Amino acid sequence: MMMVDLLPLELPEDLSFLESILKEFYEKTGSAVAQRILAGWPNSAKSFVKVFPQEYQRVLRQTAEEQKAHLTNGPMSVVSKPAPVIKDIEDIIPENLDKVRGFMKYPRKTNPYRDPGERQKDWNEIYDFKGVRKTIKTQAARCMECGVPFCQSSHGCPLGNIIPKWNDLEDWREALNQLLQTNNFPEFTGRVCPAPCEVLVLRITPVNIKHIECAIIDNAFEKGWMIPQIPVVRTGKKIAVIGSGPSGLAAAAQLNKAGHTVHVYERNDRVGGLLEYGIPTMKLSKEVVKRRVDLLAEEGITFHTNVNVGKDISAKTLLQENDAVLLTVGATWPRDLPIPGRDLNGIHFAMNFLETWQKHQLGNKIDYDHVNAKGKDVLVIGGGDTGCDCIATSLRQGAKSIVTFEILPEPPEGRAMDNPWPQWPKIFRVDYGHDETKLKFGKDPRNFGILSEKFMMMVKVMLLVSALSK
């Protein structure tokens, strides 16, 4: 638990900061309370206390002492510590970043992606890893250990990641240890998590969390730190996990760590669930999935692919052979659109389209021509993330045109009055596929507020229904 001191508000910079936010609050809300406090300023400041984390105070004192010693003795450390011959990328980032109210001093790096014109020509991950790493220390300095860590509350990170701890980044290995305590697969969340933690951190420009998380784990894999952690003691208990998506993999990892013998059963030909066959390679490289699955196998988990539980092996047999059976089978049942004309040719479920293509990409001998967007006019029904993945995949396959229908109205640019912080902001977002399509066809593919009523005769049109489950 983080210990904090409640201090009187005395420092001039604290007083002027508080006064400025009170003024802003009053201007924007007309609050009578803010008006009363401001009328009695600075006397009314005595009713406030400064919530100051002790650990943060310690770091500030230490930094001040180091700076003082540097000024008095000259750059002793340079003499005693020879400069490294090869600099790590993090070493070339300016030192002595001032973290006090860092989120106000350093702007958020808003675009973690590669250039949309370039990235739409390939199937590689869309992220600009090099760019993210270059700015990582400055971005971490935006996290100010505020003492009110919404980001790790039940509304923030669903995994309970202790974000401020790793943002110190004094030591990459320590940051890794911290991260792995709460997150089994940061390389997945660091790429595809919608990052609810970030919108909870700050009202307008959040601290960059997800990409820092990703950099910590990718760096660990690069440095060879991610070696198999094989349990020293086995409990003798045997557990079957049915389904190898992220929930099955995380459960298997935890149970194996606890010393149980774990067997994972997967009906598909590869492990990973929607991580492997669903989320496109541009968002999550299949190499990254394989790297983790291989590590889990080395740690002692046994994977059985092409085993459809209920058909190839009965649930009863699994129950008899194991001490416990875990169902982590996901929601792979598509939501249909049973309107007139549904039986026309050229209408496909999004997952069929994505999975078929991803199997083809991985070298499976699979007939994918009937669900290939090349040269076709594509209409995607459903404007969510899966819809966006369909757009981006169609674009790379060489679609002639791409349009999306979304049933909901177009969201506002900023938060509506009934959607205040810290709720998830229901605002207009431009995801990677939208950006790329706009660049290629000159127009955002989305059309809002459209309720599909009927499918008409289609020629050379491919239609993707992108809602996933009932």
Ligand X SMILES: Cc1cc2nc3c(=O)[nH]c(=O)nc-3n(C[C@H](O)[C@H](O)[C@H](O)COP(=O)(O)OP(=O)(O)OC[C@H]3O[C@@H](n4cnc5c(N)ncnc54)[C@H](O)[C@@H]3O)c2cc1C
452 burial via Cβ count (<10 Å: 0-12, 13-18, 19+): middle
Q: How far apart are CA 217 and CA 210, in angstroms?
A: 11
Q: How far apart are CA 332 and CA 310, in angstroms?
A: 16
Q: How far is the CB of 197 from ligand X (least distance, A)?
A: 13
Return the residue of 42, 107, 194, 412 that touches ligand X, per CB under 6 A: 194
Q: Give SS3 for 174.
A: helix
Q: How far is the CB of 235 from ligand X (least distance, A)?
A: 24
Return the residue of 9, 59, 159, 337 that touches ligand SF4, per CB under 6 A: 159
Strand partners, 349: 465
Site membership for ligand SF4, residue 157 (CB under 6 A): yes
Site membership for ligand X, residue 193 (CB under 6 A): yes
- Decide: 131 and 211 in contact? Cβ < 8 Å: no
Q: How far is the CB of 196 from ligand SF4 (least distance, A)?
A: 5
371 binds, among ligand X, ligand SF4, none (CB under 5 to 8 A by kind): none
Return the residue of 42, 107, 310, 420 that touches ligand X, per CB under 6 A: 310
250 burial via Cβ count (<10 Å: 0-12, 13-18, 19+): middle
How many separate helices (H) and strands (E) can be counted in the chain? Answer: 19, 11
Quote the radius of gyration of the chain (alpha carbons, Å). 26
Which among 61-69, 106-114, 208-216, 350-358 is the span making contact with ligand SF4, rule CB under 6 A?
A: 208-216
Pairing of strands 238-242, 261-265: parallel
CA 174 remoteness from chain centre:
21
283 binds, among ligand X, ligand SF4, none (CB under 5 to 8 A by kind): ligand X
Number of residues that bind ligand X (CB under 6 A): 32
157 binds, among ligand X, ligand SF4, none (CB under 5 to 8 A by kind): ligand SF4
Site membership for ligand SF4, residue 196 (CB under 6 A): yes
Q: How far is the CB of 179 from ligand SF4 (least distance, A)?
A: 9
Return the residue of 332, 401, 419, 452 that touches ligand X, per CB under 6 A: 332
Strand partners, 402: 378
When the beta carbons of 14 and 174 are compared against ligand SF4, the nearer one is: 174
Binding footprint of ligand SF4 on the chain (CB under 6 A): 157, 159, 161, 163, 189, 193, 195-197, 209-210, 213
